[in-house]
């Protein structure tokens, strides 16, 4: 596929996010905007920019009839879809403020967010979702309208007894006047995005139209995106990375977006959609990596050696392209290795992927090396919800996978006290909603935003070395950043999740959630009862896991030694309150839950240390 057509709408030309959409509709009315899977016809269907405009006008007319005041808040609780876009764009065009909600967040958390932001209108996926949320929202008098997108499997009598509830199909007018330009203020509040903090209640990040437009446009000055590109959208639109880079940016570039059906169906969707651009979080690459590892273990020694040779040669080829390595005769093997091995992996991603952006959390360098060595062009980036969100990103011609890339054009960075990364950016939030104290804590008097992340800057690239509040201070004064250790340990096949511990102690330990499938093999190997709690304390089991961890940490500094373990089979999830909706571990909650086991582990003193 040849990529040649650029048709970028500048932030100045757009003015506002709804102005951006209006400009795109005028420029490309017949071009495909969105692709979705229709369950009835069991086929992928396209929607043009012109058709998108017609639908937004209906949603805008319906929202206008709710008689909301400019600046009032409306919430969206949907899976990624064109309807998410219609509602958001209609709200923005009415001068309203969108509050995105994670579909897998807990009802009590959603209730807090909606109360804190005094949401007037709520859009949900279906009747089942509303039934699940309704008890938690029982006392919310501000909520004047509940919209249900799908009427399937609904029990209208029960639902419509609440006069606030309407099905979208009944709420929308049959047609509406075409969209018209409005004189919107680019610096007006566009969205309140609640951070899924690892401690305490979520905080509402106030982002303006200009915040998100400026970041999307800055990214396009560094990375080429074309009208012919096709994005695959599966990271939740409630995640600011997907919203800015996977929704607003494609409007700005005129690219099409296909909505994946689900994570479970992602492999099939990649084959069917054959995207050219994908935005993902490291967990996606980690899952694929684990699958590749599992398949390799079943292969012959020759096939494993061929795979390893391919990734080594592919990595050398990449380093050569980046002008960081000299030519070597083994590069002549690449065409053959590519055909025998690498193309089989890239084909599973659709075979056309020219850019995969990884953000939201750190991507381990070993995983990046494997994928890049196989020809998957991963660009790691970095940002915060508070910065709309992108601060930095690697670019194709200057890609250092161990880093989080170069600062976006227009973004200033420096390293402050405790090696903390400080930022000034046009994407910087207005502040936290209803929380001036928290705003003052993160943005200082000189206008620098304190990221809370430790970093170093080399050759213009930013390297994140740890999270200040997560640094473990051991009894000997050694300061240990656990993040990189945890990334490395998580690559052990037997380990599903891990938390390194040792604050105030003389040695490090780890709380480990075992992979369920691997646990069955381990239990069989050591003749252990799968369901007995005592099985998780078996000395041979611990010795085996510690041995595998030691191999993963062999290239780390001397302090990075895990001496003892707490093993569990219960995964950390959003539902049990141990993960945020963006899948970050709530460290304090995990430590509280395992306080007794941790206490017993360290009470034993030096026993078991090796």
Convert the pLDDT of each residue in 216-249 to its tens digit. 999 999 999 999 999 999 999 999 999 999 999 9
Domains 218-419+447-465 and 471-603 share a fold: no
What are the structure tokens assigned to 257, written together? 């977006």
DSSP 330-357: GGGGHHHHIIIIIHHHHHHTTS---EEE
The predicted structure's pLDDT at residue 610: 39
DSSP 265-292: THHHHHHHH--SEEEE-HHHHHHHHHHH
In this structure, of 153-162, 246-255, 281-290, 370-379, the range with the lowest mean pLDDT score is 153-162
Q: Give the neighbor-by-neighbor strand order of the sheet with 32-38.
A: 43-48, 32-38, 256-259, 230-233, 277-280, 355-358, 378-383, 390-393, 406-407
End-to-end CA distance of the chain: 56
In this structure, of 113-117, 188-192, 418-422, 503-507, the range with the lowest mean pLDDT score is 503-507
Rounded Cα distance, 235 and 229, in Å: 18
The predicted structure's pLDDT at residue 153: 58
**How large a percentage of the chain has pLDDT more than 70?**
97
Does residue 357 register a pLDDT over 80?
A: yes
**Mean of the per-residue pLDDT values of the chain:** 93
Whether the CB-CB separation of 282 and 363 falls below 8 Å is answered with yes
The predicted structure's pLDDT at residue 314: 98
The predicted structure's pLDDT at residue 293: 81
State whether CATH 3.60.21.10 applies to domain 471-603.
no
Per residue in 562-588, pLDDT tens? 999 999 999 999 889 899 888 889 998
Does residue 1 register a pLDDT over 90?
A: no
Rounded Cα distance, 98 and 109, in Å: 17
Per residue in 393-419, pLDDT tens? 999 999 999 999 999 999 999 999 999
| Average pLDDT of the segment spanning 41-64 | 97
Whether the CB-CB separation of 56 and 69 falls below 8 Å is answered with no
CA distances from 492 to 5, 287, 322, 484, 509 (A): 44, 12, 30, 14, 16
Does residue 344 register a pLDDT over 80?
A: yes
The predicted structure's pLDDT at residue 41: 94
Nearest by Cα to 610 from 523, 528, 545, 522: 545
Rounded Cα distance, 548 and 541, in Å: 11
Q: Phi/psi class of residue 351: alpha, beta or left (left: φ > 0; alpha: ψ in -120 to 50)? A: left
Does residue 162 register a pLDDT over 90?
A: no
The predicted structure's pLDDT at residue 201: 83
What are the structure tokens assigned to 170, written together? 């009944």
Whether the CB-CB separation of 456 and 419 falls below 8 Å is answered with yes
For 457, phi then psi, to 5°, come to -120, 120
Rounded to 10°, the helix 82-93/17-27 angle is 120
Rounded Cα distance, 248 and 561, in Å: 44
Of the pLDDT bands very low, low, confident and very high (cuts 50, 70, 90), residue 608 is very low
Nearest by Cα to 209 from 38, 19, 424: 19
CATH fold for the domain made of 218-419+447-465: Rossmann fold (3.40.50)
Per residue in 19-29, pLDDT tens? 999 999 999 99
Of the pLDDT bands very low, low, confident and very high (cuts 50, 70, 90), residue 263 is confident
Per residue in 265-314, pLDDT tens? 999 999 999 999 999 988 888 888 888 888 888 899 999 999 999 999 99
Rounded Cα distance, 386 and 211, in Å: 10
Domain ranges of the chain: 218-419+447-465, 471-603
| Average pLDDT of the segment spanning 430-448 | 96
At residue 578's C-alpha, the angle toward residues 593 and 100, to 5°, is 155
Does residue 35 register a pLDDT over 70?
A: yes
**How large a percentage of the chain has pLDDT more than 90?**
80
How many C-beta atoms lie closer than 10 Å to residue 230's C-beta? Answer: 20
The predicted structure's pLDDT at residue 155: 63
The predicted structure's pLDDT at residue 607: 42
| Average pLDDT of the segment spanning 116-139 | 95
The predicted structure's pLDDT at residue 609: 43
In this structure, of 85-89, 190-194, 286-290, the range with the lowest mean pLDDT score is 286-290
């Amino acid at each position: 596929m040849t990529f040649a057509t650029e048709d970028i709408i500048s932030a100045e030309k757009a003015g506002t996010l709804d102005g951006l959409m209006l400009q795109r509709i005028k420029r490309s009315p017949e071009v495909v905007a969105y692709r979705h899977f229709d369950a009835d016809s069991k086929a992928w269907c396209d929607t043009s920019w012109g058709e998108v405009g017609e639908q937004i006008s209906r949603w805008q007319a319906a929202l206008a009839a709710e008689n909301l005041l400019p600046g009032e808040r409306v919430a969206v609780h949907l899976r990624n879809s064109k309807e998410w876009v219609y509602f958001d764009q209609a709200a923005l065009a009415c001068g309203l403020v969108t509050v995105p909600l994670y579909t897998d967040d807990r009802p009590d958390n959603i209730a807090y967010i909606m109360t804190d932001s005094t949401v007037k209108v709520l859009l949900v996926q279906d009747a089942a979702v509303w039934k699940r949320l309704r008890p938690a929202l029982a006392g919310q008098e501000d909520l004047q309208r509940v919209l249900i997108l799908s009427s399937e499997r609904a029990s209208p009598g029960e639902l419509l007894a609440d006069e606030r509830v309407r099905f979208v199909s009944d709420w929308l007018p049959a047609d509406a006047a075409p969209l018209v330009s409005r004189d919107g203020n680019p610096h007006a509040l566009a969205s309140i995005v609640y951070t899924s903090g690892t401690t305490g209640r979520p905080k509402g990040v106030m982002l303006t139209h200009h915040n998100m437009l400026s970041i999307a446009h800055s990214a396009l000055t560094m990375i080429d995106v074309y009208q012919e590109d096709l994005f695959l959208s599966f990271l939740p639109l409630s995640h600011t990375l997907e919203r800015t880079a996977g929704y607003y940016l494609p409007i700005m570039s005129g690219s099409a977006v296909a909505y994946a059906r689900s994570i479970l169906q992602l492999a099939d969707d990649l084959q069917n959609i054959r995207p050219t651009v994908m935005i993902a979080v490291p967990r996606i690459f980690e899952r694929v990596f684990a699958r590749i590892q599992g398949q390799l273990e079943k292969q012959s020694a020759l096939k494993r050696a061929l795979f390893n040779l391919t990734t080594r040669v592919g990595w050398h080829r990449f380093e050569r392209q980046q002008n960081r390595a000299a030519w070597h005769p083994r590069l002549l093997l690449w065409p053959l290795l590519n055909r025998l091995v690498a193309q089989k992996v890239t084909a599973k991603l659709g075979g056309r992927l020219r850019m995969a952006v990884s953000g939201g959390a750190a991507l381990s360098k070993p995983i990046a090396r494997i994928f890049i060595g196989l020809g998957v062009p991963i660009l790691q980036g970095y940002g915060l919800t508070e910065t709309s969100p992108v601060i930095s990103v690697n670019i194709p011609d200057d890609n250092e996978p161990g880093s989080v890339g170069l600062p976006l054009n227009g973004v200033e960075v420096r390293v402050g006290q405790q090696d903390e990364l400080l930022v000034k950016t046009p994407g910087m939030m207005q502040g936290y909603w209803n929380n001036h104290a928290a705003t003052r804590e993160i943005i200082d008097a000189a206008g620098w935003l304190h990221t809370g992340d430790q970093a170093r800057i080399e050759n213009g690239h930013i390297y994140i070395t740890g999270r200040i509040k997560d640094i473990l201070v051991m009894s000997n004064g050694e300061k240990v950043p656990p993040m990189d250790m945890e990334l490395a340990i998580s690559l052990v096949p037997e380990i599903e999740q891990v938390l390194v511990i040792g604050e105030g102690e003389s040695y490090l330990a780890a709380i480990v959630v075992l992979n369920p499938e691997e646990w069955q093999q381990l239990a069989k190997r050591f003749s252990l009862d799968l369901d007995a709690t005592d099985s998780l304390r078996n000395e041979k089991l611990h010795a085996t896991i510690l041995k595998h961890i030691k191999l993963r940490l062999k290239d780390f500094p001397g302090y990075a030694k895990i001496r003892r373990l707490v093993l569990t089979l219960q995964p950390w999830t959003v539902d049990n309150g141990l993960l945020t909706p963006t899948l970050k571990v709530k460290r304090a909650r995990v430590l509280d839950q395992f306080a007794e086991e941790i206490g017993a582990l360290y009470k034993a003193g030096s026993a078991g240390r090796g």
